[in-house]
Each structure stands twice: as structure tokens, then as C-alpha cells.
Structure 1
Amino acid sequence: MKQYFDFSGKVVLVTGGSRGLGAAICRAFAEQGANVVIASRNAENCEQLATEIEATFGVKALGIGAHLGRWDDIDRMVDAAYAHFGKVDILVNNAGMSPISDSSLATPEALFDKVIGVNFKGPFRATSLVASRMVEGDGGSIINISSIGSIRPQPEYAPYSGAKAALNALTIAHAFEYAPKVRVNAILPGSFRTDIAKAWSPEKEKNIKSAIKRYGEPEEIVSTVMYLASEHSSFTTGAMIQVDGGRP
């Protein structure tokens, strides 16, 4: 990775960045010289990771507690990032939630609204705030972390699939709206072994739905994120890239 990517002097904002895929993305960018803004609902976790990243990689990091389904929190997050670093070169809309429901009928309205809020409304607002400033400046790259569930929906997480499908559509719309200075792309991950894997049932561990016959590790999505963030993807926008081990 060091041979191909150098983000020295860049500022990266990662939502849902304090654990799982988000934390792996934050560490990878920091390793390649970027300053990092880490945002999630848990301010303490964000601040702890920021401290670790500064000590390990010698870059600057800022932890911000924000609910990524609430516009007021998103506005505050973006303002804090720009106040601290003066710019954002790369935005990774990674925050998401995918609760399982017994049925569509049994899905509470509050849960439905929360899923739509975090997975769709949040990226819409964050992108509109950051991309509009990127257009006025030197441009940048925005990466939406969608899901293979957006194109392979299942009944038990229907609202999540719908929200991520909407995020795919938003990716294309924003790619056109903010071009040519800002590129907007999406990654569709399959099942990755992150913190949530601790709650997986033995049946899920055995039922691996991918050609590679295993679950992904957080580090295995990092190179795709960095490709889309870098000038190596300068002719790529509005794209949906599957990183799912070959899901049927």
C-alpha cells in the first residue's frame, strides 16, 4: 500500500469511524500520512482512537461525538472538522446500522426511521455540506459505504436494504451534482468480521455465502477505499464497487 498511496497533508473525515471498518479505514489513512477526523455517536471512543492514531502514526487526529442520523449533529461535526483543519479532502460516509426484524409488520416506526436516518439521511446531509465546500476549494473525493444488501435484499433487513439502495442512487446523483471537482463513489461490502461478529450465531459462522468461502476482514476493504480516495481513480465517479468475496 505504501508504494501506491500517499495522503500526506490530506484531511479525511470518517463517519462511524471509531470501530470496525471505520476504525480500520482511519488507521490506514493515518498510516499513509493523512490527518483524520473520527466521528461516531460515542465521543469517548472517537477521542481514544484519535489519541492512539496520533501516537502511532505521528499525524493529527480529531475525535467528534455526533449522531449521524441528525442534521444538527452533522452540521456541528462538519463545522468542527473545518474549524480544526481548515478543509476536508476526503469524506467516507461509513456510519450505518442494520438491525434484524422478525417481519416487516413487526418493525417499529421508530426503528424504521432510525435505520433510514443513519444509512441514508446522514450521508445525504454530510455529502451536501462537505461537497459544496470542496467545489469551492480544491475538490475532493467522497466514498459512501453501502452494502451488498442494497442489491441482494433480504426480508429480515428490508429497511436497511432500502436505505442502502437509496444511498446507491444518491451516489450517482451527487456524482453528477458535484462534478467535475468532486468524485462520489460507493463500495458495497459483504459480510465482514468486525465487532458485530461477536454476536453472530454458530449457524451464521457456518453459512458463508461467498465464492471465497470466508468472511472479510476489516483491512480487506481499506485498499478499495484508498483507491477511490486517490488520484489513481481520477476517472471514476458514480461507481458501485462490490467487495463481498463473490456473493451469489
Structure 2
Amino acid sequence: MPGQSLSDKVVLVTGGSRGLGREMVLAFAEAGADVVIASRKLDGCRALADEVKSTRGRRALPVACNVSEWAQCDALVETVYAEFDKIDVLVNNAGMSLLYPSLDQVTETMFDKVIGVNLKGPFRLSTLIGTRMAAAGGGAIINISSIEASRPEPLAVPYAAAKAGLSNLTGGLAQTFGPTVRVNTIQCGAFATDISKSWPDELRAEMTRHNAMARVGEPNEIVGAALFFATDASAFCTGATLAVDGGWR
């Protein structure tokens, strides 16, 4: 039976130092993987890498990377392959949204930043790493999307557009890199991460009012879906989207 072991695999998680990324890093290491923790702030990556080494006994490489910068994505890939000589699983988790008073006050800089982190970076990393995965015989790419991709709210329109693009990217990459590289999406609902602390009251109310479980998710509740797509438990899944949203309706 397919299992959820990642023994001796190498997993790269962007946005990996906190929130959902942190929970996935710890779970992957617990399952036997060596991990690469990439985020804009190196200190947070280093702290989590030290925790992985001391509590899970796995290798952990912290790397500073702003995925919205093409050159930094390239440098991240080269750094990881120089250290491990492979990447078995890529998790495009880094994401961001920006608050704005009205859509006409979204600046070009704001728009480009949201598109860069949520879509441009995953595209660049996936194409570079997916090509190498295919040449090496296989791998898995997991894109972390959002319910905003299919149910956009007025307070997050640029973010929703970027996440819709990311979800569509999954299908294109699955066809491009198949049959050996699997590419799937986890479409997340609201989770109680650091970002949730800045939600306006009306957004927080909306997130719970339309949720069958009447609450937001805890960060560790992403782990089951992430392990499923990272391992051969999902051996016949590619181009798929799994909603982890508490029953958004």
C-alpha cells in the first residue's frame, strides 16, 4: 500500500519559517525528509533549521529568498542542488496579500508585489525544479492556493487573481512534467497564522460565517494534505485540487 514515508527525500518549502510552512517543514522532517527552509528573513529560517536538527535529527538548510525576484529563485535552486544534489518535493507555500482602502488605490508596486510572490515565484521555481525532477525520474510539486482563487472577496482581489493563476498553473505543469512529476494544489481556507492577526473584523467574521465547521483552521491541520501530495500515497493524483477549508459554502 502507498505510504506517507519521505525517508531520505529532500523537500523545499518556500515561506517555510512560520505559519503553514513551519508546520509542513516539521511534518516532512518527522516523516524522514531533509528539508530546505526558504523565506525572506534568514533568522527565522535558521531558528527552525536548528529545531529540525535537534528534534527530528534531519538535515535542514536555511536559505534567504524573496521568491518575487527571478534571480533569487535561480540562486535558491542552485544553492539547494549544490547542497543536496536533488529536490524530491517542492512546496510553493510563500504567499502574501496587501490591505487597501479601495481597489482604485492599489498601486502598481502593490499589485506587482502580490503577483510576484503568489504567482511569478512559483512559476519560476516550478519550471526550474520540475525540469530537473523530470530528468531525474520524478518528483512532486505542491502549490498552496486559497479559497480566494475560486471565491474572491472584495478585500483581496489582486491576491485572489494571483491564486487563481497559481491554481491554473498546476494543471499546465502537470501536463508539462507528467507522467513522472506530479503537480497538485491544496486550496486553503482561513487558518490561524500570523497573517490572520491583521485581518479586519469583517473579514474574520466572513471567514467563519460561511464555514461549515464554524471556525478557522489550526496551522497543523494542513499537514495531512501536504503529506498526501508529497508521498506516494497520492501516486495517481496530478493536476488535482484538494480543498482544506472547513467546508466553505
TM-score (norm 2): 0.96
Structure 1 Cα separation of the partners of residues 200 and 124 of structure 2: 35
How much has 1:8 moved relative to structure 2? Answer: 1.0
How much has 1:202 moved relative to structure 2? Answer: 5.0
Give the SS at the match of 1:105. Answer: helix
The residue type equivalent to 2:234 in the other structure is S
Counterpart position of 1:229 = 230
Counterpart position of 2:143 = 144
How much has 1:247 moved relative to structure 2? Answer: 0.8
User: Higher mean Cα deviation, 200-209 or 89-98?
Assistant: 200-209
* Ranges in structure 1 where 5+ consecutive residues have no aligned partner: none
Structure 2 Cα separation of the partners of residues 101 and 157 of structure 1: 9
Structure 2 Cα separation of the partners of residues 18 and 169 of structure 1: 26
Q: Deviations over 1:34-77 (max 9, x none)?
A: 00000010011111111111111000000000101011000000
Counterpart position of 1:211 = 212
How much has 1:204 moved relative to structure 2? Answer: 4.8
How much has 1:244 moved relative to structure 2? Answer: 0.4
Counterpart position of 2:119 = 120
2:116 is the alignment partner of 1:98: no
The residue type equivalent to 1:223 in the other structure is G
The residue type equivalent to 2:136 in the other structure is G
- The runs of at least 4 aligned residues of structure 1 exceeding 3 Å deviation read 200-207
* Ranges in structure 2 where 5+ consecutive residues have no aligned partner: none
Counterpart position of 1:154 = 153
2:197 is the alignment partner of 1:194: no
Aligned-CA RMSD value: 1.3
How much has 1:104 moved relative to structure 2? Answer: 1.4
Aligned residues: 246
TM-score (norm 1): 0.96
How much has 1:5 moved relative to structure 2? Answer: 1.9
Counterpart position of 1:245 = 246
Cα 1:98–1:184 change in 2 (3 A) is same
2:4 and 2:232 in contact (8 A); partners too: no
Structure 2 Cα separation of the partners of residues 81 and 122 of structure 1: 16
Counterpart position of 1:7 = 6
% same residue: 49
Structure 1 Cα separation of the partners of residues 99 and 114 of structure 2: 11
Structure 2 Cα separation of the partners of residues 152 and 58 of structure 1: 41
